[in-house]
Structure 1
Amino acid sequence: MIRRIVGVRNGRTLYSDALGELVAVDETKLTVATTKGTIVVPLSEVHRAKRVPPQRRPTAADVIALELAADAAWPAPTRGRLGDWLLRSADGWTGRANSALPIGDPDRPLEAAIDAIEAWYAQHGQPAMVNTPLPLAAPVGAALDARGWTARPLVLVQTAPLPPLTADAPGVSLTKTPGDDWLAIYEARKKSLPPAARHVLSAPPEVRFAGVYDGDTLIAAGRGAVVGEQNRWLHLGSIEVVPAYRRTGLARAVTAALANWGAELGATGAFLQVEERNTAAVALYGGLGFTTHHSYLTREQPLSGGRPDAAC
């Protein structure tokens, strides 16, 4: 916990507290990974700092394993590598499928790795994006801050043990491929559905598309993919309910049907990604037993590119 000096008002010193993980320190500053992102605190502003009892957190290996499972469950059609780092492109459809994943060793200095990311995405006609799992990729986040990169809203990666998640799910159908009505619901949500999107949705070997119908009309949908060989995970995503039918238990039923299917294939845990600000979805998944494993920020290169002017 760091208490920093942020100013003076009416002769009184003003303070602000930050709680997080200390990831770097030098002669002039501290770098701290918080749940909201990475902050850099000049030592001249530090009033007080103290250790607090650590919360139970997944190990770096656990975060890496789950991020790789998420990549397998949502696979971009165009891919590259920088050492262990992944480069992914899907015609700009969804941040996860169009961002670099900086886990492991990029086989070059950090600044050179970021330069290579920017060049790779420029070659593909896209602005560069980087998915930074926290606090694992906090040093990457600090380097991107220095370049003026922006951040999308914080995303929670949540997990739950699969057996307690299972339940009866009457009226939910599961298919191996998405129908036109299923795709139409998702296209309306995402505003587009390019060919790359169909690859992302359908490429995993073990995938199911859930649907609930009122007569001939699809009113709720979802997608599940089972990934991994030894540690089997069920990825849950694309849960969508037509507005007129929301708050009727359909999202829970779709989730349960996919969970039952995943358990039959040997998955012992489920995971999903949800924006922290989506309080309704966070509450729904919390009621199903999901808790936050880690979080990430999707960082975006400024449209002008390059580092910000030092005079600005």
Structure 2
Amino acid sequence: MLRQQDVGHRIVVRRIVGIREGRPLFTDALGDLIELSESHITLATDRGRLRVPIGEIHRARRVPAARRPTAGAVVALELAADEAWPAPVRGQLGDWLLRSADGWTGRANSALPVGDPDRPLAAAIDAVQRWYAERGQPAMVNTPLPLAAPVGAELDARGWAARPPVLVQAAPLAALPPAPAGRTDQPPVELAGAPSEDWLGIAAGRKGGLPDAARHVLTAVEQVRFASVHADGRLVAVGRGTVTGQGRWLGLTLIEVLPEARRQGLADRVIRALVDWARAEGATHAFLQVEQRNTPAVALYRGLGFTTHHTYLTRVAPV
């Protein structure tokens, strides 16, 4: 059976899910054990968090770790992503980052617990809650998994909620196809160093407003490009690309196509244009963040060659 020293390791669980003709029905789950209590276990699986009551477990054991990025690689990508989406108000708790942007997006308004907070874990979470309370905001923590599994377990014990799982996906730029040669029947993808008001309008519609802090998040990056596609004089598709992480990473954000212009390959063309720009800037890899439940976007990125580097959950303190 599992023991506390198995927490943080990869396990396989055979669970009982029903009875048929007097015989138990089983299903298997594979993932990282992030919590073990007297009543249940919690796994971080490729499909999100899975909570299994102890009474349903038929058999469970540790298995060899899957080939995955090292902790250092996860930290490096998380820091590159933070650099690409910079909150205007920032603090530190040892190595942990504290970020606030008037509540605009979870990424810019959550603590990032990578590294050593320079105090016991419980005290660190108490300090995070005080920091956000001083700013009149709910405390949130962005937990990369499995790296921050111990943080997640402590937040579980405190009753923090979890938003839907997010996939952090990555691909070598060399493996991504370049933008196709221009066609006379398709509008061009235009890249600019600053967003137009129409571009910002689409971003505001997607993110539910655009406070001053949002403009900082979008523009306060040294290497940034805003992609636009116009059709019949109207902006119909946008995207944003940044180069961060010591020039290594292209970050793709706010890839958006208006409903009436979808299924024409515009998102694909926006991404490829930003990839070409980043290659010229010396970047070697690309990353993006997408909710696991956004299946159309996940399928688009898979078709371009992106795979999941790691996942994260945004945790929200109880009111």
Judged with a 3 Å threshold, the aligned counterparts in structure 2 of structure 1 residues 47 and 248 are, in CA distance, closer, same or farther, namely same
1:39 touches 1:142 (CA, 8 Å); kept in 2?
Answer: no
* Cα distance in structure 2, aligned partners of 1:228 and 1:78: 20
Shift of 1:288: 0.5
- 1:150 corresponds in structure 2 to 161
Please, what TM-score do these two structures have when normalized by structure 2? Answer: 0.87
* Match among 273, 289, 292 for residue 273 of structure 1: 289
* Match among 138, 146, 149 for residue 149 of structure 2: 138
* Cα distance in structure 2, aligned partners of 1:26 and 1:152: 22
Judged with a 3 Å threshold, the aligned counterparts in structure 2 of structure 1 residues 116 and 40 are, in CA distance, closer, same or farther, namely farther
Q: Deviations over 1:222-269 (max 9, x none)?
A: 00000122x610000100111100010100110011000000000000
- 2:49 corresponds in structure 1 to 37
* Match among 182, 186, 190 for residue 207 of structure 2: 190
Shift of 1:106: 0.7
The answer on 1:215 being equivalent to 2:225 is no
* Match among 239, 242, 257 for residue 241 of structure 1: 257
Shift of 1:45: 6.1
The answer on 1:299 being equivalent to 2:310 is no
* Cα distance in structure 2, aligned partners of 1:110 and 1:256: 42
% same residue: 65
Segment drifting more, 292-301 vs 7-16: 7-16
* Cα distance in structure 1, aligned partners of 2:264 and 2:174: 23
Q: How does 1:1-312 map to 2 (within 5 A)?
A: 1-4=12-15, 17-22=28-33, 32-35=43-46, 36-37=48-49, 39=51, 46-165=57-176, 166-168=178-180, 170=182, 171-229=188-246, 232-303=248-319
Shift of 1:5: 5.8
Q: Deviations over 1:2-23 (max 9, x none)?
A: 2346788997667664321245
2:77 touches 2:245 (CA, 8 Å); kept in 1?
Answer: no
The DSSP-based 3-state class of the residue aligned with 1:97 is helix
Judged with a 3 Å threshold, the aligned counterparts in structure 2 of structure 1 residues 298 and 200 are, in CA distance, closer, same or farther, namely same
* Cα distance in structure 2, aligned partners of 1:26 and 1:188: 43
Judged with a 3 Å threshold, the aligned counterparts in structure 2 of structure 1 residues 5 and 164 are, in CA distance, closer, same or farther, namely closer
Q: CA-atom RMSD, angstroms?
A: 2.3
- The residue identity in structure 2 corresponding to 1:34 is T
1:23 touches 1:32 (CA, 8 Å); kept in 2?
Answer: yes
- The residue identity in structure 2 corresponding to 1:76 is A
- The residue identity in structure 1 corresponding to 2:107 is R
* Cα distance in structure 2, aligned partners of 1:67 and 1:155: 13
Judged with a 3 Å threshold, the aligned counterparts in structure 2 of structure 1 residues 153 and 27 are, in CA distance, closer, same or farther, namely closer
How many correspondences in the alignment? Answer: 301
Unpaired runs of 5+ residues, structure 2, are 1-11, 183-187
Judged with a 3 Å threshold, the aligned counterparts in structure 2 of structure 1 residues 19 and 164 are, in CA distance, closer, same or farther, namely closer
Q: Deviations over 1:65-86 (max 9, x none)?
A: 0000000000000011111111
Unpaired runs of 5+ residues, structure 1, are 304-312
* Cα distance in structure 1, aligned partners of 2:169 and 2:197: 30
